[in-house]
Amino acid sequence: MKAIRGSIVPLVTPFRDGALDLDALGRLIEWQIASGSHGISVTGTTGEPGSLSLEERKRVIAAAKEAVGGRVPFVPGTGSTHHVETLELTRYAESLDVDAVLLITPYYSRPSQEGLFRHFDAIARSTGLPVILYNIPGRTAVNLEVDTVARLREANPNIIGVKESNKDFEHINRLLHKMGCDFLVYSGIELLCFPILAIGGAGYISATGNLLPKEVASLYDLVAAGRWVEARELHYHLLPLNDAVFIEINPVPVKTVLGWMGKCSPEVRLPLAPLSPANEAKLKEIVKQYGLVEE
């Protein structure tokens, strides 16, 4: 298995006139790899999976797998609130020989810890792929507790890590203490990417990587090289942009900036809507500071 560490960029799903724009997706992947990103993920939160049909998710995963071409680890999101759909997507990803899958905690239904265990246990047992769990309580209204992660790992050696989009830094500390640093913990909170690396995390899956892939990857590279002061300075340099990409719900601001940069259309699907004019003006002023748009 390839080492899956560093900046695993959760790509947007480009649309044009309501349809998938897989050509733009391919161009984004080329730019990401050329910029030094350590891995690619699609159809996670930033990829608007809730707006994609099952067949569209498969098309995005297949197109991304081909575009990546084995040059860096490829980790598609195959999770859903629907258990059988998650199984189907995971098996499809396995048929493409991806490097791992990312499985979100089911949303809306608010399952118990036992329900979460049974859901993830069944999926992990159904596949030979490495599995990365995805805990994002702000979106799903349920937290994947440390003891449940430990129980899942004990039952399924192919569960190799977890993406923690959890602002509770105490939770992350207790998770790493319980699981050990051989268990791959990735930050899904942009402002916690550097702190999680400092306590033994494996990397991060950061929406900001869509816009500044070189700089976001460099944060990991600096830490890996023991250049902590430079890494800390880069962490604070990125902070205003990390805040800005959440000026409205992700991925609307990220897609807006990518549109300004000419990388893909800013189009999102309902129920998401374009950025408000007031927030668009604020966002443009911030991204100008990073040279992403012209003065």
User: What is the CA angle 150-152-153, rounded to 5?
Assistant: 65
Within-domain flag for 264: no
Within-domain flag for 245: no
CATH code, 43: 3.20.20.70
Within-domain flag for 256: no
163 in catalytic set: yes
Residue 212 has pLDDT above 90, yes or no: yes
> What total of structural domains would you count in the chain?
1
Lowest mean pLDDT among 2-6, 21-25, 63-67, 269-273: 2-6
From the candidates 58, 65, 92, 134, give the one annotated as an active-site residue: 134
Q: What is the mean pLDDT of residues 214-220?
A: 98
CA distance 190 to 239: 8
Strands (E), the chain: 6-10, 15-16, 19-20, 39-41, 101-104, 131-135, 159-164, 184-187, 203-204
Within-domain flag for 238: no
Residue 89's pLDDT is 98
What tens digit of pLDDT does each residue of 14-70 get? 999 999 999 999 999 999 999 999 999 999 999 999 999 999 999 999 999 999 999
* Average pLDDT along the chain: 96
Residue 294's pLDDT is 80
186 in catalytic set: no
Q: Could you tell me the residue range of the domain that residue 39 belongs to?
A: 6-225
**Residue percentage of the chain with pLDDT more than 70:** 99
CA distance 85 to 43: 14
From the candidates 58, 65, 163, 263, give the one annotated as an active-site residue: 163
Within-domain flag for 291: no
Residue 229 has pLDDT above 90, yes or no: yes
Residue 295's pLDDT is 67
Residue 2 has pLDDT above 80, yes or no: no
**Residue percentage of the chain with pLDDT more than 90:** 97
Q: Are 9 and 40 in contact (CB under 8 A)?
A: yes
Residue 75 has pLDDT above 70, yes or no: yes
What predicted TM-score, i.e. pTM, was given to this entire model? 0.96
Q: Sorting pLDDT into bands at 50, 70 and 90, what band is 257?
A: very high
For the record, the structure tokens of 206 come out as 């950061």
Q: Sorting pLDDT into bands at 50, 70 and 90, what band is 181?
A: confident
Within-domain flag for 293: no
User: Given 3-state DSSP classes, what are the helix, strand and coil percentages for the chain, each rounded to the nearest 5?
Assistant: 50, 10, 35
Q: Which of 229, 206, 224, 226 lies closest to 216 in space, CA to CA?
A: 206
Residue 27's pLDDT is 98
Q: Sorting pLDDT into bands at 50, 70 and 90, what band is 117?
A: very high
